[in-house]
Structure 1
């Protein structure tokens, strides 16, 4: 197996189970990439040009991070404790055994900083060093089974918990469910893979492990590689990646001077240290009313179907809900317009700043649980998978 990519995080925080294809794959400008996607080329076969934020935008990120760090710390603590409670069911409520077998697996790349935060929290609160890997999952192509095989080679008794940043309309949730079913069928595992995704914010109402369901600004959604270990989104292209190899990614060495990946982690953990007692009380209160057996309502998907009808879209694939996904539309795709829910009081300054910079029109829309939603311009019909 080729060497794994080395991101800007410490190996103690995360191991990227991705091969470095920096010297092979070219970035494609957004308009050209959009045409290729809509003509049938899978998004995972190419990389977008990484958005290089302005000084004003970076300043806004830092201000937002400062303002929301304690909120991120609380959501991290809540979802981390939910993970422990959920996994204890597999171990007859034995905490020591649960922690011994637990392995955190973040979905690259939005899940990676959240996985690092959860690992740091568990180390601080439980004095354990839980293994944490970041692997690729691609909509329409599935999860990286070679990477999963590697994890089980390191620990046959691994009890894996998948982690992502947030849920949008639930596409990755569905992809993960199918991937886990397939992987479990083909292998006999001590602890079968669970498709229950742990996220910081479940804005799509499609999982039971979440720090919050509020669609607030998670600062790591503001930036791309410079808050995700300087690693690109993942690539699966048979020109670079052969059978039996892990998926690929690019390391952005040229962005090292502007990297904020570890600043993000350290700022949130410092906020946790500062508000530890208060966070512990709020976690206890939240867990007291948390229902791990809840059946998710998928309210987000219902709203997406309504938006599809209201705006005459051919497919829901052109509708990207929530702060995180709307940011991605502005940074990676060709937006038609943004929908802003005026009933939500969330800070959308970075969204509005990008929209102004890119001359994207904004429309108020209240029939959704999200703060905002990005609509991608339809050009050549629905071909994206």
Structure 2
């Protein structure tokens, strides 16, 4: 097998992350949200095209900065807790492998924390994982060949109902069956409101500021693409570099703001991580209970249309066709950006106090509408 070499893509320093992605910047992959939704719901796969990158109004960007200032220490503490857990378990041989793209800034922050705390610079790669198609095997082969003694730790931003956790476990099993190599399928995240992993900063459903924006807080890299027209057998999965958005890019500023808080939270993070090591932490995927209840109550065709949690609800509003937004408490500071987006897009907001998550986005069934 020919091993592809990584190319430089995005606005992060290569010391922070190496993207194992094929650069598809010159190819027109974008389609309107309505067209994409219709294709996806008619059997096409979401990874074959890209949504047009939503550029938020000034008020929304201001809200991002406001929430970042308010919750920077909370995010830093969650990063510290999960970084301490990873390092205590895997030590200097850890290879951080973040799932593009929400996992990328989180992987960078974990890497920076371990460097700040232990003086060790861990390798960090960002790879593609796609629902129903698994992770990029060529990327895993590259990492294994480059770091034969390394212990891979997968990293993402947050959990919703656990679809990516399930996909990761499945991909790791298939990889082991095919290549005889066992991968640790644990997923390290900032927030785990879905109770999908044992490796988390918090299980509170709160607003991670990087969930507010798209590529402009993820190194100007698009969502990942797996389309056979452009991705060959030996290629990494693809992505675009939105060079035209350089003026709006806040990716490195976001990292710096959180990193500056590490000195304030390191001792507390260490204590919480040590305590977690002595606890029996379960991952019962509680989020699916909420999802099934919502599916029955609102007669939603498939659980794929139900996206619980602040991060996932934000994504529904930014790049899908939303039908309704359910919110447990509309006065929560973590949902103000969601209320702003819902109003801008004319989406109904339903107060739904019996939700375990803070909020939930329901995608519109566009096929029904077109009949």
Q: TM bucket by the smaller chain? A: over 0.9
1:266 to 228, 240, 256: 256
Tell me if the contact between 1:107 and 1:134 (Cα under 8 Å) persists in the aligned partners: yes
The offset of 1:2, in angstroms, is 6.1
Give the equivalent residue in structure 2 for 1:120. Answer: 112
The offset of 1:342, in angstroms, is 1.8
Tell me if the contact between 2:84 and 2:269 (Cα under 8 Å) persists in the aligned partners: no
The answer to whether 1:74 aligns with 2:66 is no
For 2:244 and 2:202, the matched residues in 1 are separated by: 35
Give the equivalent residue in structure 1 for 2:354. Answer: 367
Give the equivalent residue in structure 1 for 2:152. Answer: 160
For 1:303 and 1:344, the matched residues in 2 are separated by: 21
Q: Which moved more, 1:24-33 or 1:34-43?
A: 24-33
Residues 291, 234 of structure 1: CA spacing in aligned structure 2 closer, same or farther, 3 A cutoff? farther
> Which digits, 9 at most, give the CA deviation of each residue in 1:169-220, with x for residues without a partner?
000000000100111223344xx21111000000110100000011100000
The SS at the match of 1:165 is: coil
Q: Which runs of 5+ in 2 are unaligned?
A: none
Q: Which moved more, 1:343-352 or 1:355-364?
A: 343-352
1:202 to 184, 187, 192: 192
Give the equivalent residue in structure 2 for 1:222. Answer: 212
For 2:77 and 2:100, the matched residues in 1 are separated by: 22
Q: Which runs of 5+ in 1 are unaligned?
A: 88-97
The answer to whether 1:313 aligns with 2:303 is no
Q: Which moved more, 1:365-374 or 1:319-328?
A: 365-374
For 1:3 and 1:107, the matched residues in 2 are separated by: 16
For 1:356 and 1:69, the matched residues in 2 are separated by: 26
Tell me if the contact between 1:78 and 1:286 (Cα under 8 Å) persists in the aligned partners: yes
Give the equivalent residue in structure 1 for 2:86. Answer: 83
For 1:129 and 1:70, the matched residues in 2 are separated by: 23
The offset of 1:333, in angstroms, is 0.6
Tell me if the contact between 1:109 and 1:228 (Cα under 8 Å) persists in the aligned partners: yes
Give the equivalent residue in structure 2 for 1:45. Answer: 48
The offset of 1:367, in angstroms, is 2.7
The SS at the match of 2:43 is: coil
Tell me if the contact between 1:208 and 1:292 (Cα under 8 Å) persists in the aligned partners: no
Give the equivalent residue in structure 2 for 1:304. Answer: 291
For 1:335 and 1:226, the matched residues in 2 are separated by: 22
The answer to whether 1:248 aligns with 2:238 is yes
1:328 to 300, 307, 315: 315
Give the equivalent residue in structure 1 for 2:130. Answer: 138
For 2:273 and 2:351, the matched residues in 1 are separated by: 32
The SS at the match of 1:133 is: strand
The SS at the match of 2:73 is: helix
Tell me if the contact between 2:188 and 2:199 (Cα under 8 Å) persists in the aligned partners: yes
Give the equivalent residue in structure 2 for 1:355. Answer: 342
The offset of 1:295, in angstroms, is 2.5
Give the equivalent residue in structure 1 for 2:9. Answer: 6
For 1:339 and 1:291, the matched residues in 2 are separated by: 36
- The runs of at least 4 consecutive aligned structure 1 residues that moved more than 6 Å come to none
Tell me if the contact between 2:186 and 2:199 (Cα under 8 Å) persists in the aligned partners: yes
For 2:135 and 2:302, the matched residues in 1 are separated by: 24
TM-score (norm 1): 0.92
Tell me if the contact between 2:323 and 2:362 (Cα under 8 Å) persists in the aligned partners: yes
Residues 60, 343 of structure 1: CA spacing in aligned structure 2 closer, same or farther, 3 A cutoff? closer
> Which digits, 9 at most, give the CA deviation of each residue in 1:133-185, with x for residues without a partner?
00000000111000000001111111000000000000000000010011122
Tell me if the contact between 2:79 and 2:190 (Cα under 8 Å) persists in the aligned partners: yes
Aligned residue pairs, count: 366
